[in-house]
């Protein structure tokens, strides 16, 4: 019974008895050779059957490693791009800080008192005295002339407006 469970439900001595044929020895040898090839084929199929599940297991393991490798590679790429983003943020922060400092420096240099002081110190400039000022007298007459011609400004008209205008002028 226990052996029968191993061979897919086959139980010994449930098949009808085989009748012994009355063959000559050479025929028995052929039959033995034939059965020996069957047993060899069975051994080969048993080996194949045994190798197939092992190959499947190895294949599944390799597939699992490939998936884990792909996930690991993807995570490394994500980490690398995150680090690059963080360095770019740091660079941006330093550039913005420098920009603000330069703006403050420009505002300080545009102060009128600073400009006057730099002009006196570096260029040797002085404020004007009354002796250096020259006054110009102009007539109180208005030198602007009004336009004598009438200016007509034409607006851009569409094609249909032009056709309607031509037709209305030809009627009058």
DSSP-derived letter for residue 70 is: H
Closest CA relative to residue 84, chosen from 76, 73, 72: 76
Q: How far apart are CA 115 and CA 70, in angstroms?
A: 65
Residue 81: how many CA atoms within 13 Å on its side-chain side?
5
Q: Which residues contact 12 (CB under 8 A, 6 or more apart)?
A: 3, 4
Mean pLDDT (whole number) for 81-90: 96
Q: How far apart are CA 37 and CA 45, in angstroms?
A: 12
pLDDT band at 114 (very low <50, low <70, confident <90, very high): confident
Quote the pLDDT of residue 14. 65
Of all residues in the chain, the percent with pLDDT exceeding 70 is: 66
The pTM score is 0.36
Helix ranges (H only) for 10-158 are 25-109, 112-122
Mean pLDDT lowest among 22-26, 90-94, 100-104, 167-171: 22-26
Q: How far apart are CA 9 and CA 17, in angstroms?
A: 19
Q: Which residues contact 157 (CB under 8 A, 6 or more apart)?
A: 165
Please say whether the beta carbons of 35 and 42 come within 8 A: no
Cβ-based neighbour number of residue 86 at 10 Å: 10
Of all residues in the chain, the percent with pLDDT exceeding 90 is: 27
Token pair listed for 62:
């390799």
Kindly report each contact of residues 20-29 with a partner whose C-beta sits within 8 Å and lies 24 or more positions away, as own/partner.
none
pLDDT digits (tens, 9 = 90+) for 8-56: 555 566 666 666 766 665 544 545 555 555 565 665 555 555 567 788 8
Please say whether the beta carbons of 13 and 7 come within 8 A: no
Token pair listed for 21:
């044929």
Quote the pLDDT of residue 39. 60
Q: What is the mean pLDDT of the chain?
A: 78
DSSP-derived letter for residue 13 is: T
With H, G, I as helix, E, B as strand and everything else as coil, classify residue 144.
Answer: coil
């Amino acid at each position: 019974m226990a052996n029968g469970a191993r061979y897919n439900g086959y139980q010994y001595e449930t098949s009808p008895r085989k009748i012994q044929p009355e063959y000559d020895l050479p025929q028995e040898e052929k039959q033995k050779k034939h059965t020996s090839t069957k047993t060899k084929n069975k051994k080969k199929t048993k080996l194949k059957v045994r190798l197939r599940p092992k190959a499947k297991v190895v294949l599944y393991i390799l597939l699992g490693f490939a998936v884990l490798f792909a996930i690991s590679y993807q995570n490394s790429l994500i980490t690398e791009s995150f680090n690059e983003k963080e360095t770019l943020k740091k660079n941006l922060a330093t550039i913005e800080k420098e920009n603000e400092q330069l703006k403050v420096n420009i505002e300080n240099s545009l102060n009128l008192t600073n400009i006057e002081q730099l002009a006196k110190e570096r260029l040797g400039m002085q404020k004007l005295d009354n002796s250096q000022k020259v006054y110009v007298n102009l007539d109180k007459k208005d030198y602007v002339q009004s336009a004598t011609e009438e200016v007509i400004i034409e607006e851009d008209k569409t094609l249909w407006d032009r056709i309607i205008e031509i037709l209305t002028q030809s009627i009058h």
